[in-house]
């Protein structure tokens, strides 16, 4: 018997010895008794009373019963060019060309049919349907399927890439229509529903709340004031309706923020007020016009707010004003900070472009600004966004009157009239060299044009050196520079004079 079996045997023997000793010496140890009685029958009670919720939670079924039939599934087929593998790395004249050619796939790029899925919703009984532009853009064939499984070929009435909105038309009558709401009344925390076909699962309903409004996205069009939600949407939801608790469409589901390709808690929808502005123009075959102010704006950082003598770093900092633009005619100047637009607050730079872009050209609005820390109100008549903007480089300078500004550690020279015209500016000095110092730390580089420093315009190297000599040390100083077609503000902190 091995060690393990001995130990196991001891656990059995010791209880038997205890029982024997109890019987001999009367230790009062009683042995357990076994009962062979039948088990009691299962007493199962089924609750047949009317079902009532024990807690109050949202019930979304009335909304889906009201609006569900207005949601459609959209499939579009497009032709895309597909590469057929790697190309021969050697030219035909090379002796290696023929050798590698035998390993190449036959033929060049080929055309391939690609099918995309999306969603949409009906807005009129005679077959007008709204969806996202990226669902149908470039499509050769579009099919719309209703909830009753009837399928119709759809005609693309028009689309706007800038607003990612498209209008379709199918040949049908007496269709149910989705009620259109007012996205301007949305508030953070309100319940919302999304209906669509994520990953092809038709008529899927998901729910969530408004996370933020008037949200701008990086690398996206600046004229869309997105609704941010935590409503789960995925590929295939695009173009479907975002519904409020009254069963009204308040947006169209457009995109998600993800690193995996699936939903991660951040969903973005285009407000229905923006969508319908585009839809009306498309239905009437009119050009979509965008409001135009004629300024370049940037964010107000904490250092910039201190340099501009602001109580707090809020608003949109005007970096440049285009000549003869609505902003110029109204008296807006570089260095002004826009804090209200049409009586609505502007807390950050991303809020202003959608406000302006969605304003009907010709509308007169009030713009609240801070100039040198003092509040002012300007009246601006919004113009129409030009179709094409001229891109101008900094140009060259034939002047040899260069100079050095020791406190900035830069080398500069005058700006020629031709270069100033190409850039669309009237004054400034061209940076031709930057050493290790305050200018480099502020991001100023050769090729840029310094227009203002300390909110004073610069016309010549001598003037810049004179202004810099009188500026305080150790304090943030605003500097306006021109980099190609873009003007922006940066902050420099100067060392003591003579150091």
Binding-site positions:
134, 164, 236-238
- In degrees rounded to 5, what are phi and psi of residue 371? -120, 115
* CB-neighbour burial class of residue 412 (10 A; exposed 0-12, middle 13-18, buried 19+): buried
CA dist list (Å): 102 to 68, 87, 96, 105, 150: 57, 11, 11, 8, 51
Which residue among 75, 183, 238, 267 is the active-site one?
238
Is 134 a residue of the active site? yes
CB of 300 closer than 8 Å to CB of 308: yes
SS3 447: coil
CB of 290 closer than 8 Å to CB of 320: no
Q: Among the residues of 210-367, which ranges form H helices?
A: 272-283, 302-307, 326-330, 352-357
Query: Which residues make up each annotated binding site for substrate?
Result: 134, 164, 236-238
Q: What is the H or E stretch that residue 120 is in?
A: strand 110-122
Core vs surface per residue 466-478: b (16+ CB within 10 A) or e: ebbeebeeeebbb
Which residue among 75, 119, 160, 164 is the active-site one?
164
CA dist list (Å): 284 to 168, 279, 280, 362: 13, 9, 6, 20
Core vs surface per residue 371-390: b (16+ CB within 10 A) or e: beeeeeebebebbebeeeee
First to last CA, the chain: 93
CB of 410 closer than 8 Å to CB of 401: no
**Residue 383, strand partner residues:** 292
**Residue 81, strand partner residues:** 111
- In degrees rounded to 5, what are phi and psi of residue 348? -145, 165
* CB-neighbour burial class of residue 226 (10 A; exposed 0-12, middle 13-18, buried 19+): buried
Residues 391 and 377: their CA atoms lie apart, in Å, by: 31
CB of 321 closer than 8 Å to CB of 294: yes
Residues 262 and 456: their CA atoms lie apart, in Å, by: 51
Which residue among 134, 160, 211, 336 is the active-site one?
134
Is 254 a residue of the active site? no
The residues annotated as belonging to the active site are 134, 164, 238
């Amino acid at each position: 018997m091995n060690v393990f079996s001995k130990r196991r045997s001891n656990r059995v023997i010791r209880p038997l010895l205890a029982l024997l000793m109890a019987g001999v010496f009367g230790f009062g140890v009683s042995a357990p008794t076994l009962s062979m009685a039948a088990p009691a029958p299962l007493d199962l009670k089924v609750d047949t009373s009317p079902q009532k919720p024990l807690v109050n939670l949202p019930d979304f079924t009335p909304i889906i019963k009201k609006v569900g039939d207005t949601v459609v599934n959209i499939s579009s087929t497009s032709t895309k060019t597909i590469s057929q593998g790697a190309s021969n790395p050697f030219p035909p004249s090379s002796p290696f060309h023929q050798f590698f050619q035998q390993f190449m796939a036959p033929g060049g790029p080929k055309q391939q049919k690609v099918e995309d899925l999306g969603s949409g919703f009906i807005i009129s009984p005679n077959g007008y349907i709204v969806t996202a532009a990226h669902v149908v853009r470039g499509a050769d064939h579009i099919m719309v399927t209703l909830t009753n499984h009837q399928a119709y070929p759809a005609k693309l009435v028009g689309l706007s890439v800038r607003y990612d909105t498209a209008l379709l038309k199918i040949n049908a009558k007496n269709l149910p229509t989705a009620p259109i709401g007012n996205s301007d009344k949305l508030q953070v925390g309100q319940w919302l529903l999304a209906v669509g076909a994520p990953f092809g699962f038709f008529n899927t309903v998901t729910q969530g709340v408004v996370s933020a409004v008037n949200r701008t996205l990086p690398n996206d069009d600046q004229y869309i004031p997105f609704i941010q939600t935590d409503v789960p949407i995925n590929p295939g939801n695009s173009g479907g309706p975002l519904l409020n608790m009254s069963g009204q469409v308040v947006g169209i589901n457009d995109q998600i923020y993800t690193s995996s390709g699936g939903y991660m808690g951040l969903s973005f929808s285009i407000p229905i007020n923006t969508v319908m502005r585009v839809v009306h123009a498309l239905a009437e075959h009119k050009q979509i016009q965008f409001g135009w102010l004629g300024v370049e704006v940037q964010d107000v950082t904490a250092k910039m707010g201190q340099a501009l003598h602001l109580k707090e770093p809020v608003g949109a900092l005007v970096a440049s004003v285009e000549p003869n633009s609505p902003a110029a005619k109204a008296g807006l100047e570089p260095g002004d900070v826009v804090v209200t637009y049409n009586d609505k607050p502007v807390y950050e730079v991303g809020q202003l472009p959608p406000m302006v872009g969605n304003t009907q050209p010709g509308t007169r609005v009030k713009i609240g600004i801070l100039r040198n820390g003092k509040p002012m109100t300007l009246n601006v008549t919004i113009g129409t966004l030009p179709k094409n903007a001229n891109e101008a480089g900094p140009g060259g300078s034939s002047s040899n009157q260069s100079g050095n500004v020791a406190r900035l550690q830069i080398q500069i020279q005058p700006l020629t009239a031709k270069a100033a015209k190409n850039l669309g500016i009237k004054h400034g000095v061209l940076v031709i060299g930057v050493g290790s110092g305050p200018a480099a730390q502020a991001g100023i580089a050769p090729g840029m044009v310094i227009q203002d420093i300390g909110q004073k315009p610069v016309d010549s190297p001598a003037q810049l050196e004179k202004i810099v000599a009188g500026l305080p040390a150790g304090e943030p100083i605003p500097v306006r520079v021109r980099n190609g077609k873009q003007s922006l503000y940066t902050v420099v902190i100067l060392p003591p004079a003579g150091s």
